[in-house]
Structure 1
């Protein structure tokens, strides 16, 4: 049954992403980035509907009250990364347009990558770390000033369930230089949507949004250690069985 559900879900994603990509491309030619972003988010909501109904995945959210308030509030979101699911889910929870930091190769993905290319995000070449860091800070400061929230996966890649990667400091460096607070996010999406493998499973996945951590006057490395400590501790709360 899980395999059949997964096939149907893939068909749903494929059939819906094509018209939405065309809509994003068209809107981006005549409208602002903000308007184009919310058009894209409407597809994320459709994708999440399919995840709930077709795959049988139930989603629970903790800590929404920890997000900054106000139309001009800035934030750097630092999230655990386990699967594709959180990249679709998190935008539907946020009141601000997001600017993802991602590897440049994703722009080559048909339709999905083409849409991302029109959304003025931060795509980096991971082969050149120093250049990538400068690009994140320069572009991140510009996007934050425009009212976007920057979201990063500080471990740099999807991490298997129950494990931790190496947390990089690009996100906290951006926060310190821009004065934006850090918001740590723990996600337990690999319970149902694994890092690798086609088959997804019904069940409950959780995302937990932590309290804001002020960045003013902080050392980026110490700030990242604090965010990491919260994320990894919270992972053991929202997916206890993975850490037994």
Structure 2
């Protein structure tokens, strides 16, 4: 039964994602906000189906830590779930992602049109320059910037190598950092067909102000972020 319900969800996901992506594309000429409404509706629809078909609910903790001003969100990356959830977790934002994702029909095209920062992994120096330039521009426009510091999804219970891009951006843009942990990989595994019933908890950790970002050495701050995010992730069962 679990396999059947997961199959139904996966089929709905594969149908609805291109459909909502097309709506994002079609409404983009009417402004970012018009497209953003469809992105948020996609997120809500997918999680409604995830609850109805797979018995997975979500809880959001730490909302009190969210600042009033745009900031850099550094989030654990285990699953497609946090990617889907992001529009209902944080205010309008841009992602920092690998540029190859723009090649995905409809979904990738929608990402590109929404101002996503697509970096080329082959040139780390150029990638950092792009993150700083484009990320600072987005923050100045009032958009939040979301980055997965591990760069790619890690299996539940494991840790990828944390990259300094988000910390460098926050430092250069004089922005704060909002860390986020979750246990999505335990229920919606990396490349996993089966979606296990349970509760996905997205937990925002204490906000690090711009003043604190500038007062702590980047290497030490990155180590602290990794320690805090991974510790909270393990506590949640991720």
TM-score (norm 2): 0.94
Contact 2:93–2:144 (Cα < 8 Å) also in 1:
yes
Aligned-residue Cα RMSD (Å) equals 1.4
> What is the match of residue 11 of structure 1?
11
Q: 1:7 to 1:122 in 2, by over 3 A?
A: same
Deviations 1:138-169 (A, max 9, x none): 00000001111101110111011111111110
- Whole-angstrom CA distance in 1 between matches of 2:21 and 2:208: 35
- Whole-angstrom CA distance in 2 between matches of 1:238 and 1:162: 10
- Whole-angstrom CA distance in 2 between matches of 1:58 and 1:41: 17
| 1:45 shift after superposition | 1.1
> What is the match of residue 78 of structure 1?
74
Deviations 1:206-231 (A, max 9, x none): 11100111223332222211211211
| 1:236 shift after superposition | 2.4
Contact 1:61–1:207 (Cα < 8 Å) also in 2:
yes
Contact 2:98–2:120 (Cα < 8 Å) also in 1:
yes
Between Structure 1 and Structure 2, how many residues are aligned? 235
Contact 1:74–1:147 (Cα < 8 Å) also in 2:
yes
| 1:197 shift after superposition | 2.5
| 1:90 shift after superposition | 2.3
- Whole-angstrom CA distance in 1 between matches of 2:156 and 2:104: 25
TM-score (norm 1): 0.92
> What is the match of residue 165 of structure 1?
160
* 1:1-244 equivalences in 2 (<5 Å): 1-29=1-29, 31-69=30-68, 73-94=69-90, 96-214=91-209, 215-239=213-237
Report the secondary structure of 1:110's partner residue.
Answer: coil
Runs of 4 or more consecutive aligned structure 1 residues displaced over 6 Å after TM superposition: none
Could you list the runs of 5+ residues in structure 2 that have no partner in the other structure? none
Deviations 1:32-88 (A, max 9, x none): 22332232121111111111111111212210111112xxx1210000100000001
Q: 1:32 to 1:216 in 2, by over 3 A?
A: farther
Which is worse superposed, 193-202 or 183-192?
193-202
- Whole-angstrom CA distance in 1 between matches of 2:217 and 2:75: 19
